[in-house]
Amino acid sequence: MMRGYFILSVFAFSLLQLAITLANLRAIRRLDHGTGNFADASSSPLVSVLVPARNEAENIRACLESLLQQDYPNYEVLVLDDHSSDDTPAILAELERTHERLRVLHGAELPDRWFGKHWACWQLAGQASGSWILFTDADTVHQPQLLKAAVARASECKLDLLTAFVRQRMDTWGERVTVPFPVWSILTLCPLALGRRWRWPAFSAVNGQLMLFRKDAYIAVGGHFAVRYHAADDLALGRRVLRQGLRWAMHDASNLVICRMYGSLRQALLGFAKNYFAVFDYRVLLSTFVWLFLVFVYTYPLVLLSQAALGVGPTVGFSWLVVAAATAGIQLFLWLTAARRFCMPRGVALLYPIIIWLAALIGWTSMVATMMGKTVWKGRSSGPGPIRWL
């Protein structure tokens, strides 16, 4: 009987996820090509596009060339070289000579208790001239319509922060079993409309690969200075926006921006390990519970069905097996929906048990490494985080 209660509880949770997903699909509007009526620079607000770069020789040229080809009439591009040891400085110097819109900054030494990217973004914001500032990563490539579409939507909706999902490029199997999880988790676990309407920080989501701030709003929430110790700077900034009573919305820019976040399984493991624990505001018990719960929810129905098919384990009534099959079907549908909406590679949805388990292992690794001060990214150690038990 206990097994029946378990599967019924998992089924109920899966139905809740389905409801959240359907609501989010309505709430997350797609950024349209060609929206906005910005005829010339005099009628368009100045936008500062800000790109932190550390050892990005493989990506930086494509990123900046795409940004320098935007069809928006009034913008500047600022990129900060954060003490790169590869060919990034040479590529930036070459591009700066041939593009008037581009300004290259050289980063100051990293202060104590700062994450490197946060410090780079804070320096960039201090040099930005625009009334709008767009933070984006050096491993992104943008369609020419992106800037016009984002500014038009933010102005139309009177937003202080516009952020968006982008298309994640996943060329290796290592990327395909790690990169989809954050996108899926926001779509299926975070009721964005409730977060926006009731200003609940826990129900907010921000993607650091595309954050368009009204500059005075960025300053009002303290900017990256206020979140300098928080590994997930995008989420931390979004939560501050909500606490300040400012307007925020998540969009879908998968038709306008593509990003290859990590190039291998090893890079993905290291990259996500530095910030998964920060998603829970460094709360040990909450983080532990969520990962255990997700593993249970996405494993238990498959275990029941597998045992029944193989004729092993305790006997389970046919009606409970029907519930287990329905639950597994809903879970697969959630992954198929996320994959289709955000242009993930075919077949990713079928890997969802592996993706969930691997995300949980990364989450626990992130917690332990952060507590021990062992998280490292691009040659820098972040030190121990602000640990909380509850």
Greatest Cα pair distance, the chain, in angstroms, is 74
Mean pLDDT to the nearest integer, 232-250? 94
- Model confidence at 12, pLDDT cuts 50, 70, 90, reads very high
Coil, strand or helix at 283: strand
**pLDDT for 337-375, tens place per residue?**
999 999 998 899 999 999 999 999 999 999 999 988 878
How far apart are alpha carbons 34 and 144 in whole angstroms? 9
CATH 3.90.550.10 matches 31-166+207-263: yes
What percentage of the chain carries pLDDT values higher than 90?
80
Residue 192: per-residue pLDDT: 93
Residue 384: per-residue pLDDT: 61
pLDDT higher than threshold 80 for residue 36: no
Is 0.85 surpassed by the pTM of this model? yes
**pLDDT for 289-313, tens place per residue?**
999 999 999 999 999 999 888 888 6
Read off the tokens for 381. Answer: 């150690």
Place of tokens 């639950």: 327
Residue 39: per-residue pLDDT: 63
The residue among 334, 252, 262, 321 whose CA lies nearest residue 294 is 334
In the chain, residues under CATH classification 3.90.550.10 are 31-166+207-263
**pLDDT for 127-149, tens place per residue?**
999 999 999 999 999 999 999 99
How far apart are alpha carbons 13 and 302 in whole angstroms? 15
Mean pLDDT to the nearest integer, 1-26? 91
Residue 311: per-residue pLDDT: 81
Most confidently predicted of 3-17, 47-61, 200-214: 47-61
**H or E segment and range at residue 360:** helix 352-372
Phi, psi of 353 (to 5 degrees): -60, -40
252 contacts 30 by C-beta, under 8 angstroms: yes
Coil, strand or helix at 85: coil
Which residues face 81 on adjacent strands? 53, 106
pLDDT higher than threshold 90 for residue 33: no
Provide the mean pLDDT of the chain.
Answer: 93
Coil, strand or helix at 46: coil
